[in-house]
Structure formats: structure tokens, C-alpha cells
Amino acid sequence: MGKLEGKTALVTGASRGIGRATAQRLAEEGALVAVHYASNDEAAAETVALIEKDGGRAFAVRAELGVPGDVHELFLGLEQGLRERTGTTTLDIVVNNAAAQTAAGLAPEDVTPEDFDRLMAVNAKAPFFIVQRASSQLADNGRIINISSGVTRVANPEQLAYSMSKGAIEQLSLHMARHLAPRGITVNSVAPGITDNGSPVFDVPEIVEAMSQLSAFKQVAKAQDVANVVAFLATEDARWITGAFIDASGGTLLG
């Protein structure tokens, strides 16, 4: 029997990359997973199909984050999907994974107010209101896992605005960990380093080789490497970890 049998989970941004691998991993442990995504219906359907092929249970929920009404739309789809399959809207696990990125090589001088607002809206504001909305329907001993990034621990001017948005999600973990502890709910941040999310850049050997040098293991991570860490935090085994920053960067932050 899987470690998450009978649990329900929401994974935002689960149509591809780390989110997809996380959805698959949680489903493998027995959770019913809501596969959230922004616009790529086909990719989300593929995540659901991959989970079902392995005997798991999942359904897709579409909602663009970072726009007015985003969290409300997400929860309408989520609650409907849960109610149809379980008869309730109880949620056990929330993984805030979806995020907006910036173009590589964007100097601080070139960040526009629109870029900044978008990063904050998708990466910080949406997770905050997802957690706020979810907390009333989260079961006791539930789990919230916020995906941050190793860039909050190393100076990288080209990622300044993105890093600020990830710093915000770490604060969400810290403060909500204390707030929700009386109910046994844990809240943690997981910080990946460079992780193959299936985007075309990971097909270019020279670029992969250069990126690999950043990790102590001289590899880029597979999405499953991060998903395994998230899945552990979702289990009962991790009940004594809360408010933590979990470095899942393959030693990138060792310097």
C-alpha cells in the first residue's frame, strides 16, 4: 500500500516538468491528484493519462494564475473534481509549484514594472491566496509544499526579480508553518537547482554540460529527483519537519 493512500492532492503547474513528476509520484503513493495547469490542455491530459496508465487517479484543473479571479477559478474546478470522486472537498496536500520565469540574461536595469508584477502575481500572490483558500478545507495533518529555488541563496543579478518572488514563497512557508502547526499541518519550501523540465534547452549537450557543473554531482537534476523530495514531505514520515527550507539542488549551494 502506498504512503498516501486515501489522500487528496493539488499540484499546481503539473502539466509538465517538476509538477508533472510530482503529480505522478504522489499518485504512485496512492493520492488522488488534481493536475493543475494554465493553458496546455494536451500536456495536462497527458499527465493524467500517465498517472492512470500506472494505476493511479488524477483529474485536470485549468486556471491561469496571476490574473483576477485566478484562485477562485482554480478552486471551482478543484472542488468539483474532488466532490465527484470522493464526495467531499477535503484536501490533504497542496504543492505550489507553478511559476512564471524570466528570460535568461535579464539585467536588473531591464526589468519592467510589468515583468515584476507578473512574477509576483504568479509566484508569490497566487500561492498565498491558494494557501489561504485551501487552509479551511485542508485536513488535520495536511501538507503544504512550496517550490522555491536555489537562487534565493546565491547572488544572481539576472534572476533578481524572480528570486524576490521565490523569497516571498519561502516566507509563506515559514509563517504559515507556525500558524497551521496546531492542526498538525506542515508547511515547507523545496528549492531545486537546475532541473530538466523537458524544455528544448535540455536537448543541447553543451548547455547541459555547462549547467551540470553547478551541481556538486556534476549533473542536472531529473524532475523525479525533486518530486521524490516533495513526496517524502507529503508523507506521515515527514511530520516533524515544518517551516523548513529544503535544499534539493544536488549540492549546488555548497559553493
Nearer to ligand NDP, 39 or 88 (CB): 39
Residues contacting ligand NDP: total by CB under 6 A: 26
Q: Which of 7, 8, 10, 19 binds ligand NDP (CB under 6 A)?
A: 19
Compute φ and ψ for 248, nearest 5 degrees.
-115, 45
- DSSP states of 175-242 as a string? HHHHHHGGGT-EEEEEEE-SEE-S-GGGG-HHHHHHHHTTSTTSSPEEHHHHHHHHHHHHSGGGTT--
The contact pattern for ligand NDP, residues 70-99, with x = CB under 6 A and - = no contact, is ---------------------------xxx
Tell the smallest beta-carbon distance from residue 7 to ligand NDP (Å): 21
User: Which class for 60: exposed (0-12), middle (13-18), buried (19 or more C-beta within 10 A)?
Assistant: buried
Chain residues 146-205 in contact with ligand NDP, contact rule CB under 6 A: 147, 149, 192, 194-195, 197
User: What is the C-alpha to C-alpha distance for residues 213 and 195, in angstroms, rounded to an integer?
Assistant: 13
The answer to the question of residue 65 lying near ligand NDP (CB under 6 A) is yes
* Annotation marks residue 162 as catalytic: yes
Catalytic residues: 162
Residues of the shown chain interacting with ligand NDP in the complex, contacts defined by CB under 6 A: 13-19, 37-40, 43, 64-66, 97-100, 122, 147, 149, 192, 194-195, 197
